[in-house]
Structure 1
Amino acid sequence: MERFQDRHHVWLRSREHGLYLHADLADGSSVYLHPYRATARAAWAVHVLHHFDGHMLMLHNAANGRYLAASTSPWAATAARFGLGGGNRVTLRDLDRLPMFAAGWFPIVSASGDVLLGHASDRFLRAIDRGDGNGVTVEVSDSRRPNTPWVVEAIPPIDSIPRLPHLVGIGHIARAIRFVRAERASTDGTFPHVAWACFEFTGRSLFNLRIELARRLNFAVVSDVIMCVRAGLFGRLTPLITDLPPNNVTMEIIVVTAGTIDANELRFPNFVFCCCRCLSSPAMADARAAAAAIAARHGVGQNPSRR
């Protein structure tokens, strides 16, 4: 578990294919592989759960807060084993209870230093190069199979709240925004129904949404508004740092005030800075070229296409 420090962020790169695990923000429930890593979609926050005198690893995405998961039902394992489809699907889910073994992973460090991500269903997270970026499954496997190991790359934190994307992704999508201040949470982490308010917001701009929330909550300083999402009752707060997804699904925003205890517990991944520094090295340049060659061979674009 030393590769996964609680509340820190990591990238997960397939050793065999050189592609990174991404969350699909368009549907909010699937994952895919892509060579590009300087994005919140490729950053995963570590959530270590201590239970039964042991530890269970959970990973939630830095863009939408949802947890990497797979089915733990006996049917799913049997379906995957016989190639029936559906049983080996990797998804993003809300954390509605603890422990939730569907989102539970157990890292095993291989002799090479890579990590095998075992699932609670006795299967392993696998990357399969299908050419469309969608080859992420959980299947019965072992360390001898080349498409099982993952390289865990630590993402350093940023020292301050990052600047929001400025007036981009405006669009014409309208969605309902339910919002509440973190200070109104009960001791069990829930929010009373009367604490929530709702309005319709048009566009995808996170910058504009913060201005609107600051106005509605009477913030004197707009930058004191930190917008967070929480995937399920037991999900950890995830600060929003990218524009809103391209859909009209209702969003629940928990507003944290800068400088408070809740705000000080938040952690922001400095993936842009790290990419600029690391990708300038010869070793990382070679790795990037290899990933680009794989992507070009199979028609996967270099720029992120899934918003």
Structure 2
Amino acid sequence: MEFFNKAKAVKLRSHLDKYLVADDNQETVRQSRNSTSRKSRWIVEFVDSNSHVIRLKSCHGRYLTASKEPFLLGMTGNKVIQTVPAKTKDMSIEWQPIRDGFQVKLRAFCGTYLRGNGGPPPWRNSMTHDSPHGGSTHSWILWHLETVDVPENETLTDYLSLISSFSSVSGELSGLDLGSPVSTESNDSSWSFTKKSKKSPLNSRTAMDLFHNATAVRLRSHHDKYLTAEEDEESITQDRNGSSKNARWAVEFVENSDTMLIRLKSCYNKYLTASNHPFLLGMTGRKVIQTLPSRLDSSVEWEPIKEGNCVRLKTRYGQFLRANGGLPPWRNSVTHDIPHRTATQDWILWEVDVVEILVQSPLPKLVPHSDSFASESSSPSTHSTKSASFSRYELGDSIIDSPPKVGDGRTIYYNVADEFGVVDEGVEGLRVTFKGNGVEELTRRLEEETGLDNIVVCSRSPLNGKLYPLRLQLPPNNVTMHVVVVQSSSRVATEFVNSVTPL
């Protein structure tokens, strides 16, 4: 409890180095790596002076609440949400801090604990309250505390920030010299200086490594939502469903250009287009839509500029693809604009998830005494391009690097099966690198990755396609494996006990 005695506000960081944040919908909570936003700050309130129980209030004035609604039917763990209780005394918003070394556990009124979940979706980044039964998930209820200050003039600061992000006259209201876009280069360079004053400059060629050999990608915004093509085949929005075909964008490279440019085509075979139509009259920002022009022009061309692990997508006129937040009609909208304020500069950053790559042979065919081969191997530019194309890819939310060397561990792809051992073919397999040779060690590793307890690691028979559990030592480290994870309580797992042959 001594952690909270002098703290007016705190940030809670999970074992995954992600922060507990309150979403803009003023209902859900989740984990995020962004700790600079107000959404990661929680005001501490004591229930009474003699109590060891606290309440945590979000930036929206709502309390962190242990609800009675299950997160997934048939699974342990109930939802944690934001609410404003009808009653003054509501135990669902009360949490008891319990010290555990240099960390704390937050126990709810029903004896469960606030838990930051890991593993594949939908568990990834979710928040529940539960009683951990397995050692692999015990650390999921441990939280690091970071105390933060609450500015006295925060209300005025927030008002000016809101005005400046929505209005072109924000410079006069806030009293700050926000400038006007006199020229494209001046605005872009000043923004880059603010964000990268302590970093070495990164050019657009570096950003192309994220798209090299990619034939399809997903773009995830600062709000953890995906760039999505609407069914009207015109509108563009943000959506949390990244598995939809509408969140998939085919990549085309613009040839014969002085800079590296790409086009992004939606599932309706229409291009992501920076239009000249204002999103709202009198406001900054113009619409981003889907079009199929009779002649491909600069409005469908985007220049990727790398920023850390993300990219900015710049139009030929110096504006950037921006994912908007805030209140409707801005919420979930997508525009192209030049951000003038620090509060909205992260809105133009996008994470690139490569969902389909162009398969190429990583090594050229060796032909002795070949002049063409000798000239190709002696060219440094050719060698760098070849090596870069196989350096790093992302598939879904997992990262696919170049094939590991012998000794670095084997590559294992895994899917999670249902009660009957059926794997959803529409869900992409995830990947881990595993250095051991024992089945038991692999089982423990996959329990940590999936967040499931008491699992059985299976392989699929090449003869009949049925599953059978792995019992022997694994093949050598340089052998790639595909496995299926089933829970020991499932129906297909109980059949393993009475069966010797593959199921």
Normalised to the residue count of structure 1, the TM-score between the two structures is 0.49
Normalised to the residue count of structure 2, the TM-score between the two structures is 0.31
Structure number with greater CO (CA < 8 Å, separation at least 6) is 1
